[in-house]
Amino acid sequence: MVSRTLLLLIFLTVPAFPAFASMCIKCHEPHYEKTGSCSVCHRGNEETSRKNIAHSGMITKKYADFIINKKAVERGGKTIENAHCRRCHITAGKGNNIAPDLDTESRRKTAETLKEKLTEPTDYMPDFRMNNTVSDETVKYLLNSGGSMKNTSKTAPYVVFITQGKKSAFEDKCGGCHRLLTRKRGGIGHGDTAPNLSGLFTEFYPTDTIKPEADRWNREILLKWVKNPRRIKPASLMPPVVLTEDEENRITEEFNN
Ligand code: HEC
Ligand code: HEC
Ligand code: HEC
Ligand code: HEC
């Protein structure tokens, strides 16, 4: 009891730091005060005077302009559009949720970690061969939109699947050249010589190949394509693939999930 009263006394008599006083300024000159506290742009932990804890998860100076550098964010957004990242990922609240939600991940990860995934992608994440500036700006876009999206994702979280059960017809007939990421089965196919077909039936997949014949990939146009790609794109490098009706059903089904 005594110690509790004592603590309370100390608490009342020692002027507590106002909630907004950042411990960062014990070691650093403040700047950009108008935009907000240090953590708005740098994250980190402002409540401690221990450097390592203060700096943990910090956004370093190289990326800390992700709120104020509108030009970089805009260019990053263009890259994301042009590369059709949203056929696999959600970013700025839009996209397919078959790969990690980038609004969530960009709030959890440092800029350096995000950049590493872009420049050294693993597994079903395609290699876009981005140069340094392009990848930096893309990361700034992700940090910017992640920060403004405050947990709005309503879709189920991304999980890594282990493919089991019946052998996939896609794996068999298409997987030597293509890859496909699905929510139910995870990644199928292992080829890198043809486009990664993830998100094919959604609005986020590019449609140049089938224009003007159709404005979006669907079962019908896909089966027509597979039967004879050159009827749709005369110079296509994909050979015709013969499928049974069962295979047609199973393969088109893979694109629905
Ligand atoms: C509006 C975003 C923003 C806010 C808020 C902000 N910073 Fe920065 N900080 C940056 C940027 C951008 C840089 C990169 C260099 C520059 O523009 O000054 C940076 C650089 C730094 C550096 C490295 C300086 C150097 O020259 O190596 C330190 C240290 C730093 N900030 C600490 C802080 C602290 C402490 C606070 C809170 C008082 C804070 N920052 C608030 C954006 C911000
Ligand atoms: C105990 C002192 C101390 C505290 C507290 C502290 N820092 Fe630092 N900070 C340093 C020192 C020293 C460096 C120089 C590089 C190093 O040792 O990591 C540094 C470097 C930095 C840099 C430049 C590194 C880079 O590459 O961008 C930034 C930005 C920064 N600190 C931001 C912050 C922010 C934001 C906080 C509060 C959340 C904070 N620091 C709290 C001591 C501190
Ligand atoms: C074909 C689907 C696909 C496309 C298209 C794609 N990604 Fe990915 N991405 C993935 C997968 C799968 C992972 C998870 C890889 C892993 O965990 O190793 C991933 C991981 C990432 C990560 C790391 C996320 C984390 O949790 O750390 C970032 C960042 C990322 N992608 C950004 C992008 C950007 C930016 C684009 C567009 C330029 C893009 N991706 C396009 C499938 C894709
Ligand atoms: C021998 C390798 C190979 C096989 C097997 C193959 N494809 Fe392809 N596919 C390609 C190539 C190469 C392209 C790029 C076509 C081009 O020249 O435009 C392509 C393109 C595509 C496209 C268009 C992608 C786009 O971005 O426009 C679709 C859709 C497609 N294939 C579906 C399939 C399906 C479904 C199967 C299995 C039934 C399959 N492919 C089997 C090599 C293959």
Nearest to 191 by CA among 174, 205, 169, 206: 174
* Structure tokens that stand for 117 in this block: 């995934």
Ligand 1: atom nearest CA of 40 is 5
pLDDT along the chain (257 residues), means of 10: 47 45 92 92 94 96 97 98 96 94 95 96 90 97 86 55 69 95 89 94 95 94 97 95 96 89
Find out whether the peptide bond into 15 is cis, omega within 30 degrees of 0. no
| Contact call for residues 88 and 181 (beta carbons, < 8 A) | yes
Q: What is the pLDDT of residue 12?
A: 45
Which residue ranges have their beta carbon within 6 Å of ligand 3? Answer: 80, 83, 85, 87-89, 99-100, 102, 105, 109, 114, 117-118, 122-126, 128, 138, 181, 196, 198
Q: What is the pLDDT of residue 165?
A: 58
| Contact call for residues 86 and 98 (beta carbons, < 8 A) | no
Nearest to 59 by CA among 113, 104, 116: 113
Q: Which residue has the least CA distance to atom 39 on ligand 3?
A: 85
Ligand 4: atom nearest CA of 217 is 29
* CA angle centred on 64, ends 61 and 69, rounded to 5°: 125
Rg of the chain, C-alpha, whole Å: 25
Q: What is the pLDDT of residue 159?
A: 57
Ligand 3: atom nearest CA of 105 is 26
Q: What is the pLDDT of residue 147?
A: 83
Q: What is the pLDDT of residue 123?
A: 80
